[in-house]
Amino acid sequence: PKRLGILTGGGDCPGLNAVIRAATKTACSHGYEMIGFLDGYTGVVEGRYIKLEPPVISGLLHRGGTILGTNNRSNPFYFPVKENGEVTYRDMSDKAVARLEQMGIEVLLVVGGDGTLAGARDFKAKGARVIGIPKTIDNDLAATDQTFGFDTAVRTATEALDKLHTTAESHHRVMVLELMGRYAGWIALYSGLAGGADVILIPEIPWRIEGVLKKIEARRAEGKPFSIVVVAEGVKSPEGELVVQRRVEGSVERVRLGGIGQLVGKLIEEKSGIETRVTVLGHIQRGGSPSSYDRVLATRFGVAAAELAVKGIHGVMVCLQGNTISYVTLEEAVGKPRIIPLDHELLATARAIGISFGDD
Ligand code: F6P
């Protein structure tokens, strides 16, 4: 039979299984077989895969994560190989492209964020037939108006804020919540608005501790001795530095954002004298069952990608433009982060209801 392939790469997010299910159902209805490669590009390089038949995809719609597994480190152009206990990196892209040919995969559907999609673009340059499907909780890809996973992450963060609210109020404390989002503040802005934050710090707007304290003090003066401060992980320190955690893997340094919440909390407590606690929501934002919005978007993307593949269209990424599913070339799609524009209506809306961005 004719065959399509699919892999999920990069960090996971709610809705991946919904994409796998939708793409597989669509492919099967056109008489195609769907091959699911395991652990991102690693499965293509190493020849590890499963056949996605109807019983395998049954019951997947509401399940978080990805049944195919994923891997942040699986770049076929820079592939980690263990030799004598040491990790070295090799270009395995020829092997991966050859595997797709040998297996008769007409088109490989690559579900991922910017890094994974860059791999798909580079595969295309080698003659492979690929279609990208954008995913990330961060919502930071310019070529699509929304990624699936974002809505669920915002809901999770909003629930966390609701819970922090009640304990903040009881103890007259400042509660700081550090949220993901990489170099963009989308999760922080949306959940801060939905969860009634008093201060939202996002990477797009430089902040000063005096600005944060001004809001907290104003609330105290109004008889509200508690406050909720949302901090996106990509926010820089008052000295203008990114707060990161570094780790060396073989010869490669891995850098992860995170830790700015602690810094903000410490400054608030020191300077205001109000007891302050910091919560880092972390990977809870990526886990669990997708929201109905994300299930629908993921299903639309999965169907659209499989239909394009069946029609012989490839080298593109499916995307959402307004409320329409469309596609752009992979070259157009990759390497264009989408941060919050400073004239975004939600920033003005937040300011109108007294939310501080720590910049006044
Ligand atoms: O891109 C999704 C994301 O969760 C970011 O918000 C965060 O910075 C990063 O991935 C964390 O990645 P890891 O999987 O390495 O913990």
What does pTM read for this prediction? 0.97
Residue nearest atom 13 in ligand 1 by C-alpha distance? 11
Instruction: State pLDDT tens for residues 295-307.
Output: 999 999 999 999 9
User: Which residues face 81 on adjacent strands?
Assistant: 88
User: In terms of C-beta density within 10 A (0-12 exposed, 13-18 middle, 19 or more buried), how is residue 45 classed?
Assistant: buried
Residue 115 annotated as binding site: yes
CA–centroid distance, residue 13 to ligand 1 (Å): 10
The predicted-structure confidence for 75-106, as pLDDT tens digits, reads as follows 899 998 888 888 888 999 999 999 999 999 99
Q: Is there a contact between 194 and 158 (Cβ–Cβ < 8 Å)?
A: yes
Q: Report the distance separating Cα 104 and Cα 333, nearest Å.
A: 26
What percent of the chain has a predicted confidence (pLDDT) above 90?
93
Check whether 343 is labelled as a binding-site residue: no
Q: Return the bridge partners of 232, or none.
A: 179
Residue 250 has pLDDT above 90, yes or no: no
Ligand 1 near 257 CB (within 6 A): yes
- Measured distance CA(44)–CA(48) in Å, rounded: 7
- The structure tokens listed for 265 are 């909390």
- Does the pLDDT value for residue 253 go beyond 90? no
CB 8 within 8 Å of CB 40: yes
User: Of the residues 39, 178, 180, which should be mutated to test ligand 1's pocket, given the most ligand atoms within 8 Å of the CB?
Assistant: 180
Round to whole Å and give the CA distance between 42 and 74. 6
Confidence of residue 248 (pLDDT cuts 50, 70, 90): confident
Tell me if 279 is assigned to a ligand binding site. Answer: no
CA atoms within 13 A on the CB side of 33: 11
Mean pLDDT confidence for 197-212: 98
